[in-house]
């Protein structure tokens, strides 16, 4: 049996497949499920819009149900920063599902808050990774 | 006391924030704190960033984990400045476990490692700011026993009073291999006994533990001099189990680099060297045992090993080991070595360069033949010149030459040094102009339990100027870099702390109460205040500053060791007379002559002595260099295979080195058959140089590079259920 046959390779680690022709550091897009403590990352959705706009990625937030959805014009999409996104926030936690390209600067966004060293509190699950 | 509330709120803003992730760190293997039958807190007196490459905290962890597998074992490091300020502002004690976020009082034992002299001043500072009474006599049953050991143990008189009270409840002298494990087991078994009885019982059944007189509130009028002696622990015939292999991965850049110890002690008799005398006799670990430990380190996630030894090249089997280890690890590094061995062992220098060593650190110590004899360096001119001439012909990056200034240098010594620097410049210009040559100087600290403890002290900065200035000028005139290891205040304070008497406890405590500590540098004013205290209290006198006689009452004389005090004095007289009688290591200890025992009495058995006297370096000859070259060349050319993995949320926020080591550990646990093949594991999507500054807190999907002898891009074989075939099959 090979790695793949085992499925799990340790404490919660899962084998997903071998890569052919991979170039380190290079990918097409991925989905980030970002979780931030609301107390240390206030107005995180609006702050993401502001951060992106300051990086010349003109996006807007539109309310949908209990959350917000990013409206991303084609011009902004071409910048390979944010391709799609929706955010929600309750009293304690901000969550976002962001489809991002290789130009998305998560650390820059996290450091744009009043407590820049709080970036360590962020958690972001990567999925639907397209190389 | 539980400090979760503070840490949950503030951990991310602390200077040592990385220590608190992953949380919980799975590699500690701890049970829930409240469910643990025993809890041990390991304390370093320096910040993590300064001790990340060292092993005492890991060694203590191994001892605790082996002795008490179900115990909760935690670590605390000296908080760096910003963290100290944050803790003190919030009323948080400075001793809090990085894993449990609990204070020292919640543990069953506190194990403090003291690695060097200046660091010791942080002990009273930490106690004062952790709500723990400073003296053992003032600490009741509410506080766990505090045990202090480490490589500076024989210079810890500053934390003892003449009456035998101590800032620790017990001091451990010597090598902790085997002993610390037994100690912890005994402390756990006797948990029902009062603290002092528990410690005395453990001391009676082990070697090396001295129990403070005042421990558990008992007052004593005895003097330290009248204390029952304690024997220093020595690890006889060290084997694989004595080496460090079981420890948690701490979240730092060094997580994937293991320290692999080759030998214990040093065979040379350098008159200044604290460790050289403290850790006698010289003992080697057999090649098979070293390799067995290396294999365990690899299973633990190490892709690189750093060979740990006072002098790695005295190891009889060092050349075969270099080859064997380079087959097993992605990187093998080694630093400290004897120049005379490098000069006399055919092929060793070439093998080291071939094994990718590009920076050579050479301890020359004395600036002239006379000074080297005073320092008993046993290093002839010919060896120095021979090695430098050969190194200059090699493709290496830098040479660092280490020197010690003693204060005794004369114009003749300086003239000899100028000639040496000029000759080296001429040689370099002919052979290797681009090579960086650094001269690093330290001022001689006369250390206890060494021959030079009897030497006069040089504690006036002005006395050093006529020596330092010309030495610097000789280096820089010839185009070499000059470095002085420590600033004046640190040198002077180190010297007084190392050789002062039990009276030191008073100024050391008073200065800690004023907020003084050591963190990268001494707090301003420390040395002036210490010197002032000495002058006011009658210790700035000829008895302390001048040459000392054979009857001088040095502190810690109650520590019994095999080398008798008379021997130190005999070697001191030899040093003053410029007599260097070599050292006892087989064929290299005596230039041109046969080895002989120098009679230090450190060897416990004839077998131990014979192992040193008949020591022979194994020089493989034959195809060795070709084999080593082939291994290194093949390794440089290896192309990794990439694998897509999903990581659990627990590891989000881990440093790349931690993540790589942990994944390697997981892979080798799951697929032991890969052990010989796999060399390294490296996350290759979000932690590359460019990507690292753009991502944080990621888990889930990512890509790792597996570097292996077989199964790279070209050799992975056909496709299976998930594309896995060939050498990556796990059977």
A30 with B701: Cβ contact below 8 A = yes
How confident is the model over B510-537, as a mean pLDDT?
98
pLDDT of B485 > 50? The answer is yes
φ/ψ of B276, rounded to 5, equals -60, -40
Cα diameter, chain A: 51
User: B235: helix, coil or strand?
Assistant: coil
**Angle at which helices B179-189 and B195-205 cross, to 10°:** 140
Contact between B616 and B316 (Cβ < 8 Å)? yes
Residues B318-356: pLDDT tens digits?
999 999 999 999 999 999 999 999 999 999 999 999 999
pLDDT at residue B667, as a whole number? 95
Partners of residue A14 on adjacent β-strands: A8, B646
pLDDT at residue A7, as a whole number? 64
In chain A, which residue's Cα lies nearest the Cα of B21?
A120
B672 in contact with chain A, both atoms CB, cutoff 8 A: no
Is residue B726 left, alpha or beta, with left meaning phi > 0 and alpha meaning psi from -120 to 50? left
Total length of chain A: 131
**Angle at which helices B505-513 and B526-536 cross, to 10°:** 140
User: B277: helix, coil or strand?
Assistant: helix
B730 with A10: Cβ contact below 8 A = no
pLDDT at residue B711, as a whole number? 83
Q: Which of B158, B166, B153 is nearest to B208 (CA)?
A: B153
DSSP B118-129: GGGGHHHHHHHT
- Is B717 exposed, middle or buried (CB count within 10 Å of its CB: 0-12, 13-18, 19+)? middle
**Cα gap A124→A106, rounded to integer Å:** 10
pLDDT at residue B588, as a whole number? 77
Calculate what percentage of chain B has a pLDDT beyond 90: 92
- Residues from chain A contacting residue B699 (CB–CB below 8 Å): 123-126
In chain A, which residue's Cα lies nearest the Cα of B14?
A117
Chain mean position to CA A91: 21
**Cα gap B568→B449, rounded to integer Å:** 7
| B positions 619-658 inside 8 Å of A (CB) | 641-650, 652-653
Query: From the CA of A69, how many Å to the nearest CA of chain B?
Result: 22
Option in B642, B665, B724 nearest A2 (CB): B724
B404 in contact with chain A, both atoms CB, cutoff 8 A: no
How confident is the model over B685-708, as a mean pLDDT?
96
DSSP B53-119: T--HHHHHHHHHHHH-TT-EEEEE-PPPHHHHHHHHHHT--S-B-TTT-BBGGGSSEEEEE--STGG
| Count of Cβ atoms closer than 10 Å to residue B408 Cβ | 17
Residues A41-76: pLDDT tens digits?
999 999 999 999 999 999 999 999 999 999 999 999
How confident is the model over B145-159, as a mean pLDDT?
98
- Residue from A81, A120, A121, A123 whose CB has the most chain B CBs within 10 Å, to mutate: A120
In eight-state DSSP terms, residue B666 is H
Contact between A71 and A61 (Cβ < 8 Å)? yes
**Cα gap B159→B117, rounded to integer Å:** 11
Q: Record the pTM.
A: 0.95
In chain B, which residue's Cα lies nearest the Cα of A11?
B666
A25 with B691: Cβ contact below 8 A = yes
pLDDT of B86 > 50? The answer is yes
Contact between B282 and B315 (Cβ < 8 Å)? no
Contact between B338 and B314 (Cβ < 8 Å)? yes
Q: Which of B233, B226, B213 is nearest to B164 (CA)?
A: B213
pLDDT of B608 > 70? The answer is yes
DSSP B309-356: -SSGGGSTTHHHHHHHHHHH-SEEEE--B-HHHHHHSTTHHHHHHHTT
Contact between B687 and B647 (Cβ < 8 Å)? no
Helix, strand, coil shares of chain B, percent, nearest 5, are 40, 15, 45
In chain A, which residue's Cα lies nearest the Cα of B17?
A120
Q: Label residue B229 by pLDDT band (50, 70, 90).
A: confident
Contact between B148 and B173 (Cβ < 8 Å)? no
Query: From the CA of A56, how many Å to the nearest CA of chain B?
Result: 17
Option in B21, B646, B720 nearest A2 (CB): B720
**Cα gap B128→B469, rounded to integer Å:** 41
pLDDT of B14 > 70? The answer is yes
Given the structure tokens 């014979």, which residue do they identify? B610
**Cα gap B215→B196, rounded to integer Å:** 6
pLDDT at residue B648, as a whole number? 97
Cα–Cα–Cα angle for B652, B656, B657, rounded to 5 degrees:
125
Contact between B468 and B405 (Cβ < 8 Å)? yes
Specify the range with the lowest mean pLDDT, choosing from B161-165, B215-219, B725-729: B215-219
Kindly state the helix (H) or strand (E) to which residue A53 belongs, with its residue range: helix A44-54
Partners of residue A8 on adjacent β-strands: A14
* Domains identified in chain B and CATH numbers: 4-231 (no CATH), 240-500+539-613 (3.80.30.20), 638-729 (no CATH)
Who's near B694: CB < 8 A, 6+ residues apart? A104, A105, A106, A107, A108
**Cα gap B449→B157, rounded to integer Å:** 13
pLDDT at residue A105, as a whole number? 97
B673 in contact with chain A, both atoms CB, cutoff 8 A: no
pLDDT at residue A2, as a whole number? 41
Contact between B575 and B452 (Cβ < 8 Å)? yes
Q: Label residue B722 by pLDDT band (50, 70, 90).
A: very low
B26 with A11: Cβ contact below 8 A = yes
pLDDT of B591 > 70? The answer is no
Residues B248-283: pLDDT tens digits?
999 999 999 999 999 999 999 999 999 999 999 999
Contact between B303 and B681 (Cβ < 8 Å)? yes
Q: Which of B86, B87, B91, B93 is nearest to B110 (CA)?
A: B93
Low-confidence ranges of chain A (pLDDT < 70): 1-7, 9-10
Q: Name the CA radius of gyration of chain A, rounded.
A: 17
Q: Which of B115, B53, B103 is nearest to B76 (CA)?
A: B103
pLDDT at residue B200, as a whole number? 95
pLDDT at residue B408, as a whole number? 98
Kindly state the helix (H) or strand (E) to which residue B582 belongs, with its residue range: none
Query: From the CA of A109, how many Å to the nearest CA of chain B?
Result: 9
| CA distance readout (Å), B705 to A11, B329, B645, B683, B708 | 19, 15, 11, 6, 10
Residues B105-143: pLDDT tens digits?
999 999 999 999 999 999 999 999 999 999 999 999 999
In chain B, which residue's Cα lies nearest the Cα of A102?
B691
B696 with A18: Cβ contact below 8 A = no
Partners of residue A68 on adjacent β-strands: A63, A87
Who's near B426: CB < 8 A, 6+ residues apart? none
pLDDT of B716 > 70? The answer is no
Q: Which of B386, B381, B362 is nearest to B371 (CA)?
A: B381
**Cα gap B294→B302, rounded to integer Å:** 9
Q: Label residue B534 by pLDDT band (50, 70, 90).
A: very high
How confident is the model over B477-489, as a mean pLDDT?
97
pLDDT at residue B589, as a whole number? 66
pLDDT at residue B432, as a whole number? 87
B714 in contact with chain A, both atoms CB, cutoff 8 A: no
Beta strands in B418-548 (DSSP E): 436-443, 481-484, 518-519, 521-522
ipTM of the complex in this document: 0.95
pLDDT at residue B248, as a whole number? 98
Calculate what percentage of chain B has a pLDDT beyond 70: 95
Cα diameter, chain B: 82
How confident is the model over B449-473, as a mean pLDDT?
98
User: B305: helix, coil or strand?
Assistant: strand
Given the structure tokens 């200044």, which residue do they identify? B272
Beta strands in A1-131 (DSSP E): 14-19, 29-37, 60-64, 67-71, 82-89, 93-100, 123-130
pLDDT of B705 > 80? The answer is yes
Q: Label residue B728 by pLDDT band (50, 70, 90).
A: confident
Strand-strand pairing, A123-130 and B698-708? parallel
DSSP A104-128: --HHHHHTTSSSGGGGGG-EEEEEE
pLDDT at residue B121, as a whole number? 98
Cα–Cα–Cα angle for B311, B312, B318, rounded to 5 degrees:
145
**Cα gap B90→B77, rounded to integer Å:** 18
Given the structure tokens 């000639």, which residue do they identify? B419
A127 with B700: Cβ contact below 8 A = yes
């Amino acid at each position: 049996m090979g790695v793949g046959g085992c499925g799990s390779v340790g404490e919660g680690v899962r084998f997903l497949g071998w890569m052919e022709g991979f170039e380190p550091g290079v990918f097409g897009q991925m989905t980030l499920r970002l979780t931030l403590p609301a107390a240390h990352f206030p107005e995180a959705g609006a702050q993401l819009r502001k951060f992106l706009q300051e990086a010349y990625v003109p996006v807007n937030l539109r309310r949908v149900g209990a959350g917000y959805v990013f409206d991303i014009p084609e011009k902004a999409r071409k910048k390979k920063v944010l391709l799609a996104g929706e955010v929600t926030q309750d009293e304690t936690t901000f969550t976002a599902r962001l489809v991002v390209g290789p130009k998305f600067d998560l650390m820059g966004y996290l450091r744009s808050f009043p407590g820049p060293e709080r970036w360590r509190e962020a958690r972001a699950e990567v999925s639907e990774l397209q190389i | 006391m539980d400090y979760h509330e503070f840490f949950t709120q503030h951990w991310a803003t602390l200077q040592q924030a990385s220590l608190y992730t992953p949380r919980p760190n799975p590699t500690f293997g701890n049970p829930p704190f409240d469910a643990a039958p025993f809890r041990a807190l390991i304390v370093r007196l320096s910040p993590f960033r300064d001790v990340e490459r060292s092993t005492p905290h890991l060694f203590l962890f191994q001892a605790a984990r082996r002795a008490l597998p179900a115990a909760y074992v935690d670590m605390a490091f000296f908080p760096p400045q910003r963290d100290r300020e944050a803790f003190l502002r919030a009323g948080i004690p400075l001793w809090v476990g990085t894993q449990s976020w609990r204070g020292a009082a919640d543990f069953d034992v506190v194990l403090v490692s003291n690695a060097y002299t200046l660091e010791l001043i942080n002990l009273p500072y930490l106690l004062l700011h952790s709500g723990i009474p400073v003296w053992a006599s003032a600490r009741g049953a509410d506080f766990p026993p505090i045990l202090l050991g480490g490589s500076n143990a024989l210079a810890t008189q500053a934390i003892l009073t003449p009456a035998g009270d101590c800032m620790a409840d017990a001091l451990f002298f010597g090598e902790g291999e085997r002993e610390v494990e037994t100690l912890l087991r005994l402390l756990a078994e006797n948990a029902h006994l009062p603290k002092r009885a528990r410690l005395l019982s453990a001391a009676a059944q082990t070697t090396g533990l001295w129990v403070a007189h005042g421990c558990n509130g008992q007052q004593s009028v005895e003097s330290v001099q009248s204390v029952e002696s304690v024997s220093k622990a020595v690890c006889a015939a060290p084997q694989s189990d004595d080496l460090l292999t079981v420890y948690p991965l701490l979240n730092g850049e060094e997580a994937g680099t293991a320290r692999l110890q080759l030998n214990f002690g040093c065979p040379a008799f350098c008159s200044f060297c604290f460790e050289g005398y403290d850790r006698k006799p010289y003992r080697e670990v057999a090649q098979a045992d070293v390799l067995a430990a290396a294999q365990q380190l690899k299973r633990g996630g190490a892709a690189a090993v750093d060979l740990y030894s006072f002098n790695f090249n005295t190891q009889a089997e060092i050349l075969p080991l270099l080859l064997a280890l380079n087959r097993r690890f992605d990187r093998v590094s080694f630093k400290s070595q004897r120049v005379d061995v490098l000069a006399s062992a055919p092929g060793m220098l070439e093998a080291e360069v071939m094994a990718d060593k590009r920076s050579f650190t050479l301890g020359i110590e004395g600036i002239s033949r006379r000074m080297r004899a005073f320092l008993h360096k046993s290093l002839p001119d010919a060896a120095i010149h021979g090695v430098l001439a050969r190194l200059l012909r090699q493709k290496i990056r830098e040479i660092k030459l280490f020197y010690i200034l003693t204060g005794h240098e004369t114009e003749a010594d300086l003239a000899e040094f100028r000639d040496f620097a000029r000759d080296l410049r001429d040689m370099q210009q002919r052979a290797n102009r681009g090579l960086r040559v650094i001269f690093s100087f330290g001022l001689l600290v006369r250390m206890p339990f060494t021959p030079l403890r009897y030497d006069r002290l040089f504690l006036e900065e002005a006395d050093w100027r006529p020596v330092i200035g010309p030495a610097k000028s000789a280096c820089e005139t010839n185009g070499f870099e000059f470095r002085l290891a420590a600033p004046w205040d640190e040198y002077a304070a180190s010297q007084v702390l190392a050789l002062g008497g039990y009276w030191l406890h008073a100024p050391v405590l008073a200065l800690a109460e004023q907020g003084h500590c050591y963190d990268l540098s001494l707090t301003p004013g420390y040395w002036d205040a210490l010197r002032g205290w000495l002058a006011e209290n009658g210790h700035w006198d000829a008895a302390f500053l001048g040459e000392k006689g054979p009857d001088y009452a040095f502190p810690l004389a109650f520590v019994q060791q095999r080398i008798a005090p008379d021997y130190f004095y005999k070697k001191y007289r030899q040093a003053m007379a410029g007599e260097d009688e070599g050292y006892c290591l087989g064929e290299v200890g005596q230039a041109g002559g046969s080895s002989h025992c120098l009679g230090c009495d450190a060897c416990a058995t004839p077998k131990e002595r014979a192992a040193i006297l008949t020591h022979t370096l194994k020089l493989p000859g034959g195809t060795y260099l070709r084999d080593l070259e082939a291994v290194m060349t093949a390794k440089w050319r290896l192309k990794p295979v990439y694998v897509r993995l999903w990581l659990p949320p627990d590891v989000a926020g881990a440093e790349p080195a931690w993540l790589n080591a942990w994944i390697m550990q997981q892979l080798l646990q799951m697929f032991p058959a890969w052990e010989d093949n796999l060399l390294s594991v490296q996350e290759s999507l979000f932690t590359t140089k460019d990507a690292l500054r753009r991502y944080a807190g990621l888990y889930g999907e990512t890509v790792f590079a597996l570097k292996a002898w077989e199964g790279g891009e070209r050799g992975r074989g056909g496709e299976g259920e998930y594309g896995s075939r060939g050498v990556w099959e796990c059977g």
